[in-house]
Amino acid sequence: MGGGLDMASGDPMMRKLFGTDGIRGTANSEPMTPETALRVAMAVGECFRNGNHKHLVVIGKDTRLSGYMLEPALTAGFITMGMDVVLIGPLPTPAIAMLTRSLRADIGVMISASHNPFADNGIKLFGPDGYKLSDELEAQIERSLESGPRRRAAPNELGRAKRLEDAGGRYIEFVKQSFPKGLRLDGLRVVVDCAHGAAYKVAPTVFWELGAEVFSVGVSPDGLNINRECGALSPEQMRHEVLARRADIGIALDGDADRLIVADERGVLLDGDQLMGLIATSFARGGRLTGGALVATVMSNLGLERCLAAHGIGLHRAAVGDRYVVEKMRAHGCNLGGEQSGHIILSDYATTGDGLIAALQVLAAIVETGHQASEVCRIFEPVPQLLRNVRFGDGNPLGSLLVQRAIAEGEARLGDAGRLVIRNSGTEPVIRVMAQGEDEDLLASVVDDICEAILSADRGIEAIEAPITVVPVQAAE
């Protein structure tokens, strides 16, 4: 518990197109062009064609304007390979994972760049079991992309496409099934910020059907406003609405609704670590926590680890990325895992992070205790945390002896009372330097020294973000 260095990075030689969460980039620039989307669909069809049955693909999207460009390109690629396509339209990423399993499809596709601004888009892939693809499968798809399809469908074998009109209703019922039987949200005033994204219709409906008085924001998508000054990454609007409406709780989702941030009735924001800690202790009390542990990432706060230990609950740390969390959950038999950012996976119900299902578990804890969110949801005092992102040019500065020496010295200075995490971003040429510990001055010194070493090791790079200190948040006035 405590102490140590975590080095977390992917293998860039293994996969060139896929990052930590599918393929992502600026819309209408490579790789997010209709030409590449078409080729990706054909490569996926090549890899997932198995047997002589009529193969089926489920395709969903969020509310970005570029979804209208990528959806038909992907559809054409799968049809070319003889696969039928079911078009879902705007629904959360976890809904696509669920429908892939429910419809017994061979592959699920979500067109989304999650929390990124509207100009970006991405392609997330799910296997027939509803889980995101492994690194090995993604590498296989890339190889097929380079070589091209060995066989296209004959004219009489081409696939067909149709829309699933009741997809939203199916997902709403799926989400509600995760809420404990016999409980309702009657009397609760809930603010929900849908980030003008994929959950703009279904999220308010879920809470309303369970009895809450719902105040919705971020439910007017225009193709350009997804995640803009709203949602999980910009929760100030949600927080303001909680205070203005005198609501009991606020819930902010991101653009594809696979993560959430919560505000209590005082407007205090609660991140994924607090919410995972709440759900873990609640599950443990009810005998529902399997594996005796929570799976989090190397970025999760040391305070969470200490809190769980005090309750007799273990903590397994995974690399950043919810699919790596899921892999470790399955390896250790755990039914709860997630990330500080608000991705929370409850494998009793879903195969990937689901902001709505996680929100219902938080609300269940509030309803069961009869206490206010401020009394229930904040279960530990975060250890001060400092994060700095450094952009680099060609090469990998982490391999430099200068950088390695600075990291070793930083680890020694923090000792057992702190943690140091150095990792490459999976979506951009950025190295993330994060330190946790009780001495904030020491954290700043250690992080600055490592960042300076990275800058010195790679000429022409610059710091792109000022240090962000994560310290206990005070109640709003």
Q: Which two tokens stand for residue 382?
A: 């975060």
DSSP-derived letter for residue 299 is: T
* CATH-assigned architecture of domain 14-165: 3-Layer(aba) Sandwich (3.40)
Say if residue 34 is preceded by a cis peptide, omega within 30 of 0. no
- CA–CA distance, 131 with 138 (Å, rounded to integer): 13
Q: Which two tokens stand for residue 447?
A: 């992080």
Q: pLDDT tens digits for 119-152?
A: 999 999 999 999 999 989 999 999 999 998 888 9
The per-residue pLDDT for 5 is 62
Phi, psi torsion values for 189, nearest 5 degrees: -100, 115
| Domain 171-376 is found in CATH 3.40.50.150 | no
Q: pLDDT tens digits for 207-234?
A: 999 999 999 999 999 999 999 999 999 9
pLDDT surpassing 80 at residue 160: yes
| Cβ-contact 39, 77 below 8 angstroms | yes
Active-site residue, from 114, 178, 300, 341? 114
Q: How far is CA 273 from the centre of its chain?
A: 13
The per-residue pLDDT for 219 is 98
* CATH-assigned architecture of domain 385-470: 2-Layer Sandwich (3.30)
Residue among 35, 26, 100, 103 at smallest CA distance from 72? 35
Number of Cβ atoms within 10 Å of the Cβ of 256:
35
- CA–CA distance, 195 with 203 (Å, rounded to integer): 11
Angle 23-25-26 from CA coordinates, rounded to 5°: 150
Q: Do domains 14-165 and 171-376 have the same CATH topology?
A: yes
Q: pLDDT tens digits for 431-440?
A: 999 999 999 9
| Burial tier of 51 (Cβ tally within 10 Å: 0-12, 13-18, 19+) | exposed
- CA–CA distance, 161 with 57 (Å, rounded to integer): 9
The per-residue pLDDT for 399 is 84
- Going from N- to C-terminal start, the domains of the chain cover 14-165, 171-376, 385-470
> Strand 161-163 to strand 84-90: parallel, antiparallel, or no bridges (unpaired)?
parallel
- CA–CA distance, 297 with 2 (Å, rounded to integer): 14
Active site (annotated) includes residue 114: yes
pLDDT surpassing 60 at residue 475: no
Q: pLDDT tens digits for 341-372?
A: 999 999 999 999 999 999 999 999 999 999 99
Catalogue the E-assigned strands of 201-279.
213-217, 249-253, 260-264, 269-270
Percentage helix, strand, coil for the chain under 3-state DSSP, each rounded to 5: 35, 20, 40
Angle 435-373-269 from CA coordinates, rounded to 5°: 35
The answer to which of 7-11, 92-96, 218-222, 256-260 has the lowest mean pLDDT is 7-11
- The pLDDT confidence band at residue 429, using thresholds 50, 70 and 90, is confident
The per-residue pLDDT for 4 is 56
Residues whose CB is less than 8 angstroms from the CB of residue 365 and which lie 6 or more positions away in sequence, other chains included: 278, 279, 282, 376, 377
- CA–CA distance, 284 with 346 (Å, rounded to integer): 14
Residue among 288, 287, 243, 279 at smallest CA distance from 263? 243
DSSP characters over 41-73: HHHHHHHH--SSS--EEEEEE-S-TTHHHHHHH
The per-residue pLDDT for 467 is 40
